A = this chain, B = another copy of it.
Amino acid sequence: MVGIKDVARAAGLSVATVSRALNGQSAVSDGARAKVLSAAEALGYRPNVVARSLRTDRTRTIGLVISDVLNPYFTELARSVEEEARALGYSVIIGNADERAELEDHHVRSLMERRIDGLLVSPADGRSPTTLDAASGTTPVVFVDRWIPGSDAPVVRSDGRGAIRDLVAHLYGLGHRRLAIITGPAATTTGRERVEAFRAALSEFGLSLPDSHVGTGDFQAESGRLATEAFLDLPERPDAVFATDNLMALGALDAIRDRGLRVPGDIALAAFDDIPWFPHTAPPITAIAQPTAELGRVAVRALAGLIAGEPATSTVLPAHLVVRRSCGEPEPSAPTGGATRE
């Protein structure tokens, strides 16, 4: 591999001058710069970023630990994170936790060892000591989507409360009274928050949420199927199911289809997180959409700020309801507040 020494020799200059010319930092004469540039070009010199990082203690790399790459929500997040990071001159290393705490730990540890400049994490386990340690260490950390209570790292997320209330209003308006929810793990902030918002909205409409109507999932499709099967086995089955992520909604759809039931005729279905496939499922699924790409961009900017020594800033963006047909034919009158119709 051609190194800076080879360039220096070819240009007839010292490595120090070559380094300066290449990094454009301090003063180098035009002649020297030209010689260096052409020598580097001719030799096809590519700096060894490993050596550079060792010296500068900066890797220009950020880590992103997401809970599940197979979840379209997170891939969209990952995409926007990478895009924004690249624009800011950073590379991104993605770690996929697969909703498993020990994998999350593995990735967080491994990324810290790589001396990333900053870490973006959406914790699969909201109590992970490893992640909490990382967040309280010297490496800048920003939580995105989910966070760990008790850490003072900034959080970039979207607030689904308003949209969940809109959803309940929508369901209520269509005549549904026995509402059920499939939650995420209680160890995640989003898992807890969504069920709380749902419960609050229900009580606002004078409805209750019996334990039998709360299915605990893990944000994966299979758990959505199981929870839904349990609902369908109830003596009085719910007439609407709210899956708190898109994969569990998929599982719910499977379970309903396998019983030969129909959506929304036999049972209504709605999901948290909107994805490109929802308009195309049978029937198109009513969902709560987060500004996912924006979330990623804002999180990266917050992290870059932190790395540059700026103060931490948390951000909360709104989510909104997208009404389709999976809860029943929408009433032709004015839509509920803030909801989009497709």
Contacts and interface: CB of A to CB of B under 8 A. Distances in A.
A51 interface: yes
A175 interface: no
Given A49-B115, A250-B280, A76 B82 contact: no
A51 B49 contact: no
B282 A50 contact: no
A78 B291 CA distance: 24
A171 B96 CA distance: 39
A17 interface: no
A114 interface: yes
Contacts of A47: 113
A94 B95 CA distance: 10
Given A280-B281, A282-B281, A50 B46 contact: no
Interface residues on A, range: 35 or more
A47 B114 CA distance: 9
Nearest to A76: B70
A113 B48 CA distance: 6
A309 interface: no
Interface string A78-106: 11001000100001011010100000001
A110 interface: yes
A23 to B, nearest CB: 14
Interface in A264-307: 276-277, 279-284
Interface string A230-269: 0000000000000000000010011001000000000000
Contacts of A141: none
A17 to B, nearest CB: 22
A132 to B, nearest CB: 14
Given A46-B112, A79-B98, A254-B279, 13 more contacts: A48-B54, A49-B114, A50-B115, A70-B75, A94-B94, A221-B276, A250-B276, A250-B277, A250-B280, A254-B280, A277-B280, A281-B282, A282-B284
19 contacts: A46-B112, A47-B113, A48-B54, A49-B113, A49-B114, A49-B115, A50-B54, A50-B114, A54-B54, A70-B75, A70-B76, A72-B72, A79-B96, A79-B98, A91-B110, A254-B280, A257-B280, A280-B281, A282-B283
